[in-house]
């Protein structure tokens, strides 16, 4: 239906503008438990699987594209999932300013937009400033998980993270055979593995 009014998905979907100037995890979640972020969560396969299988953790997707973010939130809303939320907006706003320092146990950063064209590569999200923002929000001992099928982008992330003074490089997880058609880390992992692309996986720990 064209011009259908947008369904209010609060509290499952909120924008960063709604929450400005800062994000309060105690207000967002009923249970005080570890927080994990999914940066650029897309339509939310990771968020859905993680929040329904790991009830002892609160999961927050951050997605620039509100349409995708709302799709992710709809699945959480249907189940009234208490430990899953989606925030619409630019992850740099959230990581750089709105999230309290050292308040997050893990950041998941899966299949970031590759911006293939040479002149567009500077639009890539993962830069040294972005690595610093992740270091800012992670608790000591917290993890960054980052996967992509784009070899040269992975090389950039790896170089920045392996040399970052605040992080230790850990062994990444092995590739696992899916047990069913939705048994992938994210929608993009599913798509790229089905197309036969190798996936590069990285794992780092905040000192």
Ligand X SMILES: C[S@@+](CC[C@H](N)C(=O)[O-])C[C@H]1O[C@@H](n2cnc3c(N)ncnc32)[C@H](O)[C@@H]1O
Name the residues that contact ligand X, by CB under 6 A: 40-42, 62-65, 68, 90-92, 110-113, 125, 186-188
Burial of 190 (0-12, 13-18, 19+ CB in 10 A): middle
Least CB distance from residue 176 to ligand X, whole Å?
Answer: 16
CB nearer ligand X, residue 29 or residue 188 = 188
Of 117, 187, 184, which is closest to residue 152 (Cα–Cα)?
A: 117
Query: Catalytic residue among 24, 26, 113, 181, which?
Result: 113
Instruction: Extract the tokens encoding 76.
Output: 């959480």
Least CB distance from residue 32 to ligand X, whole Å?
Answer: 26
Q: Where do runs of H (alpha helix) occur along the chain? A: 16-19, 25-28, 45-53, 66-78, 91-93, 128-137, 151-162, 187-194
CB nearer ligand X, residue 89 or residue 142 = 89
CB nearer ligand X, residue 40 or residue 142 = 40
Give the side-chain half-sphere CA count within 13 A for 80: 1
Least CB distance from residue 62 to ligand X, whole Å?
Answer: 5
CB nearer ligand X, residue 29 or residue 126 = 126
- Cα end-to-end span (Å), the chain: 51
Shortest Cβ contact with ligand X: which residue?
A: 40
Do 135 and 171 meet the contact criterion of CB atoms below 8 Å apart?
A: no
For the question of residue 8 being annotated catalytic, the response is no
141: left (phi over 0), alpha (psi -120 to 50) or beta: left
Q: Rg of the chain over CA atoms, in angstroms?
A: 17
Least CB distance from residue 30 to ligand X, whole Å?
Answer: 25
Spatial distance between the Cα atoms of 107 and 165, rounded to a whole number of angstroms: 17
Least CB distance from residue 114 to ligand X, whole Å?
Answer: 8
Please identify every residue annotated as catalytic. Answer: 113
């Amino acid at each position: 239906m064209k011009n259908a009014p947008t369904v209010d998905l609060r509290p499952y979907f909120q924008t960063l503008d709604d929450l400005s100037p800062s994000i309060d995890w105690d207000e967002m979640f009923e249970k005080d438990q570890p927080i994990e972020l999914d940066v650029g969560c897309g339509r939310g396969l990771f968020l859905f699987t993680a929040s329904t299988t790991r009830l002892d953790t609160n999961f927050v997707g951050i997605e620039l594209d509100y349409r995708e973010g709302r799709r992710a939130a709809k699945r959480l809303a249907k189940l009234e999932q208490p430990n899953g939320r989606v925030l619409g907006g630019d992850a740099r706003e959230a990581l750089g300013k709105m999230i309290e320092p050292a308040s997050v146990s893990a950041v998941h950063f899966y299949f970031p937009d590759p911006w293939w064209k040479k002149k567009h590569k500077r639009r890539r999200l993962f830069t040294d400033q972005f690595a610093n923002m992740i270091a800012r929000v992670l608790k000591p001992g917290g993890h960054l998980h980052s996967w992509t099928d784009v070899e040269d982008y992975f090389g950039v992330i790896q170089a920045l993270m392996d040399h970052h003074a605040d992080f230790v490089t850990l062994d990444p997880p092995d590739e696992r055979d899916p047990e069913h058609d939705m048994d992938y880390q994210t929608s993009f992992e599913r798509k790229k593995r089905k197309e036969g692309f190798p996936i590069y996986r990285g794992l780092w720990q905040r000192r």
